[in-house]
Structure 1
């Protein structure tokens, strides 16, 4: 059948391809359009009817630029295969492939990427990508002599442009108003938006000249004179949302392991981003979320470096996809998840593997002010069921598969809640270890990098553009274990901290100054107003 495909002119090929992209790959786009229409009380159905025509004309115009002999087939085969994957991500998970998502994908390791592979994704890729790509390869595209081909292509593009202008002439104000009221529309168009985002990523990371590196806080020093040095364990959570924490009003007992340890629970805390690639470097950066710039962040010290300048002993232990550059200048260990051990299956490891690494560090560190960071894999999806051992499979039935959209809501929430409960177990074990240490004043800080969507409003996973991200992806847990001895030695009022924690209004923006304050480090880059502990410091 494929060998007998009829011959198409380049214009016919371009138009048919544009129709396919509109009718198949842009199904998520039309879902966004429908959502916008449903919000309106007065709908002009003629305007609505022009939307698919407008998109066909626009894609036909753009595709014509690449419908060139020797280029068309390889270009559109690759584009169709990539678009098939983007379509699946948007259709099944409600993901938006913008700059931040592309950055996250580039930094994803093999084991993490494999969690998104399942029979549904493979079948979708074959049907929407491989089969059309094979048809593109087999079709016979007839090109006229250069001058005739150029003239006919120009006429075709003018016709498409004329169609766009006619629609705009009648419905320009409708398109303008509808676009302003529905910011997600342009982000959902395949392939134009993800291509633009990819071009931006390539330009920033591979074309632009790197900025000159800037060191911060070279004047940093530890100012407190204490009998014992501080030892703080900073636990960085992964994909944990506050909504599923008992501490934040959730009905299920997801914090049963730490409930007796009197943690400070900081209410209403928000992340810097909705994906690790953004949130992790941002939360340790001097820049706040509103002025955060990835390029500048890579070219200057983080709070980890400032603590290093002050002489604080530092360790970074990682069971996730790396520290995204934050720990490059200090001693760090990335767990080798390719090994088959008690805690690792060859693709990923349970977070208890970090407790083993923590024990090694605690037995070998010098008795001086110390910060140890534990970067958990936590609740990373979609394979939530791989984040906790069988003995921690408390909430059942759970979702034992990666195509989470095909699980029931109860199963999905149960498996995610198991990850939260298991993280709570890890925190309790950290606190237990710190309580046994006598040569340090010990404390623990836990903060997640971002949250997660579990099917609310049709969204799954994370990585939504921050401006339109739901609270499930930005509202995060922020917990602190601060024993009385630590508070007394560091002149902190626990009652004041408890009142402040209940008042809310915190974010990743507080972390830079709060870590410096907790470690009694002063510097010109330190801002007391951002330090949650400075507000409760006793003279």
Structure 2
């Protein structure tokens, strides 16, 4: 009904009799559907499970503005325990008790009297007919209102509990577990590395994949707080106006490495074909994926990959999460033993993953205060919440800065470069929305506009014929997206293949 109110506020003329029929319509429609499941031996388990699930969905929708469409269900299924635990707090616990556990207990204890089969069926049939009559009466008087209001506020149907999240869950299960698997398709088997090693040094590129970082909180993009203090003198390029492929990691991460663009991306198809990482592997590029987040979602399955042990470093890890500095230590070990060949190292950081933003940076990096030291972020002030999030951005900037320093130290052995790009953004209370995962068609720019940074050593630019002055102009012009990453990675690593599309390679425009 918050969504209904938003729709009302957008209209000049409002028929409040029509608005008053909306709860009646929902009661009639849901009662009709629920009557199909109010059967002996079925009713109690069905409604108990439904109530418990709906309780959690309701809280996420009400407090954070989360919509449980297919993408969010996919994200939920792929969330690990540590991630899920961050949403547990007194507010979510109290909600679950009042709208989930207690009602479920009352259902369990209810003394339901079932009639003999024939009478039960007749009674149910009459009840369903009455519900349909109620719907029909509303339709006779307000059909056009429903059509018009629904068309102008399509997101309403996505917030009806429990129909929408149940439908999305059924769709996810059908696609991922019931449909016949798609035959795997290899891409870029013709890929060749064409790097000119005239100076005898191979290329070494580190790609830092960010988590939940939004463009508007980066000083590089005009933000009025020093969130890029660590890298501001290192010569990074900031590519403006970059859009994500999705609004959740489960979608954005595989999508950004996929040959498919956002418009035609389909997760089932993506899992059944090679990614950019695989094409680089075909070309003989040395590859490593180091992960301090929730895994690579299948992108790195065919190359060497390490998920950081959450108990590996008592100073940087607490058993459930590690600060991203742990990746720097792992990177050091990799650089000590790296082969003298063209290499791409991917660091998947935990970045600004919420709602426990305060757990993403150590006390020494708690620069913006007062901050929000709790997970029920909706109960923090706007200033506290923003400061906490900005601390995560500043800490990520520190990680990126250290990566650049480590690459610079490799200049005697490698021509080095670094790219940083986030998987999606984040809402921090704007328009009543928190976190991420909104359907892309309705998602605000807070969730879809992401930072995209690049650093290139002079020797890398020279040996790979990159005109940095030209690239700076391209970065300033902007207008990029995750759709550019596949070809830009291939182009940056000088990989030739039939799957490479030059017009999508950002760096091809400035290659001399």
TM-score clears 0.5: yes
Give the Å deviation of 1:339: 4.5
Could you say which residue in structure 1 is the equivalent of 2:188? 217
Give the Å deviation of 1:346: 1.2
Could you say which residue in structure 1 is the equivalent of 2:449? 475
Is structure 2 residue 393 aligned with structure 1 residue 445?
no
Give the Å deviation of 1:140: 1.1
- Aligned partners of 2:452 and 2:9: how far apart in 1? 37
Superposition pairs of residues 105-254 of structure 1, within 5 angstroms: 105-226=76-197, 227=199, 228-254=201-227
Give the Å deviation of 1:142: 1.1
- Aligned partners of 1:158 and 1:419: how far apart in 2? 56
Is structure 2 residue 367 aligned with structure 1 residue 394?
yes
- Aligned partners of 1:134 and 1:340: how far apart in 2? 43
Could you say which residue in structure 2 is the equivalent of 1:456? 430
Could you say which residue in structure 2 is the equivalent of 1:506? 480
Could you say which residue in structure 1 is the equivalent of 2:346? 373
- Aligned partners of 2:315 and 2:48: how far apart in 1? 44
- Aligned partners of 1:72 and 1:169: how far apart in 2? 32
- Aligned partners of 1:224 and 1:393: how far apart in 2? 43
Give the Å deviation of 1:331: 0.2
- Aligned partners of 1:395 and 1:134: how far apart in 2? 45
Indicate conservation of the 8 Å contact 2:196/2:463, yes or no.
no
TM-score, reference length from structure 1: 0.94
- Aligned partners of 2:169 and 2:141: how far apart in 1? 33
Of 48, 64, 69 in structure 2, the residue corresponding to residue 93 of structure 1 is 64
Could you say which residue in structure 1 is the equivalent of 2:237? 264
Could you say which residue in structure 2 is the equivalent of 1:283? 256
- 3-state SS of 2:290 partner: strand
Could you say which residue in structure 2 is the equivalent of 1:40? 11
Could you say which residue in structure 1 is the equivalent of 2:408? 435
- Aligned partners of 2:317 and 2:196: how far apart in 1? 43
- Aligned partners of 1:99 and 1:358: how far apart in 2? 35
Is structure 2 residue 53 aligned with structure 1 residue 82?
yes
Give the Å deviation of 1:484: 1.8
Could you say which residue in structure 1 is the equivalent of 2:288? 315
TM-score, reference length from structure 2: 0.99
- Aligned partners of 1:450 and 1:224: how far apart in 2? 32
Is structure 2 residue 303 aligned with structure 1 residue 330?
yes
CA deviation map 1:307-329 (0-9, x unaligned):
00000000000000000000000
Give the Å deviation of 1:483: 2.1
Indicate conservation of the 8 Å contact 2:196/2:464, yes or no.
no
Give the Å deviation of 1:338: 3.7
- Aligned partners of 1:316 and 1:334: how far apart in 2? 8
In angstroms, what is the RMSD of aligned CA positions? Answer: 0.6
Give the Å deviation of 1:340: 5.4
CA deviation map 1:376-432 (0-9, x unaligned):
000000000000000000000000000000000000000000000000000000000
Count of residue pairs the alignment pairs up: 509
Indicate conservation of the 8 Å contact 1:340/1:346, yes or no.
no
CA deviation map 1:145-165 (0-9, x unaligned):
111110111010000001001
Give the Å deviation of 1:183: 1.5
Of 249, 268, 274 in structure 2, the residue corresponding to residue 301 of structure 1 is 274
Indicate conservation of the 8 Å contact 2:65/2:433, yes or no.
yes
- Aligned partners of 1:111 and 1:513: how far apart in 2? 34
Structure 1 residues 339, 123: closer, same or farther in 2, change over 3 A? Answer: farther
- Aligned partners of 2:313 and 2:112: how far apart in 1? 52
- 3-state SS of 2:155 partner: coil
Is structure 2 residue 332 aligned with structure 1 residue 359?
yes
Moved over 2 A (4+): none
- 3-state SS of 2:441 partner: helix
- 3-state SS of 1:479 partner: strand
